[in-house]
Amino acid sequence: MNKFTQLAGSFLLSLITLNVSSQNIDTLDISMGPGYAQDIFLNVTTGQSIPAPRNNYDLQIYTGRWSAGLLSNDGQGVMVWAYPKGDTATWDAVDTTGLSTWKALYNGLDSWENGAFNRNAKGHPDYGWGVYNTITHDVEGDSLFVIKTRNNLYKKLWITRKTSVENKWLITVANLDGSNQVNITADCNLYPNKAFLGIDLETASVIDREPDSANYELLFTKYISNVQGMPYPVVGVLSNITTPGNKFSPVAPDFTNWLSSPMAIEKELIGYDWKNFNMSTFTYDLADSTFYFIKSGNGDIYKLWFTKFEGSSTGNIRMARLKVSATAIDDPEISSNINIYPNPATNVVNIQPDANGILRIYNLNGIEIINKQCTPGETLSLNIENLNKGIYLLRFSTKTSDKTKKLIIQ
């Protein structure tokens, strides 16, 4: 075992202080309203539910400077099709004949970066709707889309550019016949604490609808999931882009050994299948041996499970909550002479050092999984699509310094 492995192991052990008591179990009541009209952003630590309407936007843009993630409001009926008859040169002559046979695109369930408009991505530099320009560092739109808005209006859409340096999205939208063409500019710099911004295509406006990303861990929402191999609307729970967790099923009710499986950042970790409609009683049965462990924004670990689901008549949900680990984490991230983007990352992470050094990436078991020599001025692009989702430690060593940063793969 090398020295860093020992240090990493010691570091992990020092994070964990179990403090489990049945007296600490309490309940969290969440109400999405009749017909599940509201999205609910839940702060697991405080129990605060932050509501937001779901019917006022069509698209969601990921605000990260180096992100190209673009999602549809599929839970509100928005549908997206990649235009199969030509590229952006055919903007003035979009023909939707045969639309019913085109493949609809839905948001990916693995990562927030994998939105409906990213589903045809081939990997860096191709992000599905556009291609990364290595000179300008912008993603330039090369594809057209047809979209059905939340109010059943059909439009054509061209994401013309995502400017990475300026961190702005430029989107052109028009009716299918070319009328009412407008250009939308979404400046993410105006919303530095938000992970996502909504886009209302009908009013060509940016919708600030979410709480600050640091103020919630879970989102209760309606979305399209994979049900028996088919896309289907469900009501469930999605994780914040930086919220690690794990799931155990079936286990005994007093199970608290969350360390027996590594935590990972998974968008649909909790999902929708913790409930099942009982055709005999016309009520919902809840999974009684399924438990989730979530790491809150302040580092505490909470055990969560569902105790009530009333369905669409009220949209009321109840969860039980138990703090199983009070974690005092001093983040190992230190100001260092290395730039990492995107972070969180999915398929590729880019490293830009300003000194000669050795880059090593370790998982939280202290195992070295990447070792690369770096030189200043270069951009080192690492393919990470085969790595497990979760938190990694990135160590950059030079002759005079040894820096560590946190890398999140989702």
Query: What confidence tens digit (pLDDT) does each residue in 112-135 have?
Result: 999 999 999 998 999 999 999 999
pLDDT of residue 347: 87
Please give the structure tokens belonging to residue 167: 């961190």
Task: Give the rounded distance of the alpha carbon of 284 from its chain centre.
Answer: 28
Name the least confident of 96-100, 180-184, 280-284.
Answer: 280-284
Q: Which of 387, 220, 226 is nearest to 317 (CA)?
A: 220
pLDDT for residue 230 is more than 90: yes
pLDDT of residue 311: 95
Say how far apart CA 31 and CA 309 lie, in whole Å. 10
Is 101 part of any domain?
yes
Q: Are residues 40 and 87 in the same domain?
A: no
In the sheet with 230-239, reading across from the earlier edge strand, the strands are 49-53, 38-42, 218-227, 230-239
Q: Which of 333, 258, 340 is nearest to 291 (CA)?
A: 258
Q: What is the mean pLDDT of the chain?
A: 88
pLDDT of residue 12: 44
Q: Are residues 180 and 228 in the same domain?
A: no
Is 207 part of any domain?
no
Structure-derived torsion over alpha carbons of residues 337, 341, 346, 348, reported in degrees to the nearest 10: -80
Is 197 part of any domain?
no
In the sheet with 390-397, reading across from the earlier edge strand, the strands are 368-374, 357-363, 390-397, 402-409
pLDDT of residue 1: 45
Say how far apart CA 42 and CA 307 lie, in whole Å. 16
Q: Are residues 321 and 365 in the same domain?
A: no
The full 3-state SS of the chain, as one line of letters, equals CCHHHHHHHHHHHHHCCECCCHHHCEEEEEECCHHHCEEEEECCCCCCEEEEECCCCCEEEECCCCCCCEEECHHHCCEEEECCCCCHHHHHHCCCCCHHHCCEECCCCCCCCCCHHHCCCCECCECCCEEECCCCCCEEECCCEEEECCCCCEEEEEEEEEECCCCEEEEEEEECCCCCCEEEEEEHHHCCCCCEEEEECCCCEEECCCCCHHHCCEEEEEEEEEECCEEEEEEEEEECCCCCEEEECCCCCCCCCHHHCCCECCCCCCECCCEEEECCCCEEEECCCCEEEEECCCCCEEEEEEEEECCCCCCEEEEEEEEEECCCCCCCCCCCCEEEECCCECCEEEEEECCCEEEEEEECCCCEEEEEEECCCCCEEEECCCCCCEEEEEEEECCCCEEEEEEEEC
> What mean pLDDT is predicted for residues 201-216?
96
Q: Which of 183, 205, 182, 164 is nearest to 63 (CA)?
A: 164
**pLDDT-based confidence at residue 268 (cuts at 50, 70, 90):** very high
Is 270 part of any domain?
yes
pLDDT of residue 19: 43
pLDDT of residue 196: 96
145 or 262, which is more confident: 145
pLDDT of residue 270: 98
> What mean pLDDT is predicted for residues 285-293?
95
The residue from 190, 224, 249 where one domain ends is 190
pLDDT for residue 355 is more than 70: yes
Handedness of CA 387, 389, 390, 391 (dihedral sign): positive
Say how far apart CA 329 and CA 12 lie, in whole Å. 9
Q: Are residues 126 and 166 in the same domain?
A: yes
> What mean pLDDT is predicted for residues 10-34?
66
The residue from 297, 325, 353 where one domain ends is 325
Q: Are residues 185 and 302 in the same domain?
A: no
pLDDT of residue 410: 81
pLDDT for residue 187 is more than 80: yes
Q: Are residues 280 and 295 in the same domain?
A: yes
**pLDDT-based confidence at residue 262 (cuts at 50, 70, 90):** confident
Query: What confidence tens digit (pLDDT) does each residue in 48-67 have?
Result: 999 999 999 999 999 988 89
> What mean pLDDT is predicted for residues 254-282?
91
Is 165 part of any domain?
yes
> What mean pLDDT is predicted for residues 31-53?
97
The full 3-state SS of 268-289, as one line of letters, equals CCCECCCEEEECCCCEEEECCC
Name the least confident of 251-265, 298-312, 319-333.
Answer: 319-333
pLDDT of residue 337: 61
Q: What residues are paired with 348 via a beta bridge?
A: 383
Task: Find the CATH number of the domain harbouring 343.
Answer: 2.60.40.3080
Q: Are residues 69 and 120 in the same domain?
A: yes
Residue type, 304: L
pLDDT for residue 23 is more than 60: no
404 or 87, which is more confident: 87
Q: Are residues 71 and 144 in the same domain?
A: yes
Q: Are residues 164 and 224 in the same domain?
A: no
Residue type, 250: P
Q: Are residues 66 and 180 in the same domain?
A: yes
Is 202 part of any domain?
no
Q: Are residues 233 and 312 in the same domain?
A: yes
> What mean pLDDT is predicted for residues 226-246?
95
pTM for this entry: 0.77
Is 152 part of any domain?
yes
Q: Are residues 284 and 226 in the same domain?
A: yes
Q: Note if the bond before 125 is cis, omega within 30 degrees.
A: yes
Is 181 part of any domain?
yes
Name the least confident of 141-150, 370-379, 397-406.
Answer: 397-406
The residue from 300, 325, 350 where one domain ends is 325
48 or 358, which is more confident: 48
> What mean pLDDT is predicted for residues 230-255?
95
> What mean pLDDT is predicted for residues 386-407?
77
Name the least confident of 206-220, 221-235, 393-407.
Answer: 393-407
Residue 7: phi, psi to the nearest 5?
A: -65, -40
Cβ atoms of 186 and 44 closer than 8 Å: no
Say how far apart CA 127 and CA 114 lie, in whole Å. 9
Domain hosting 378: range is 3-12+330-409
Number of domains the chain contains: 3
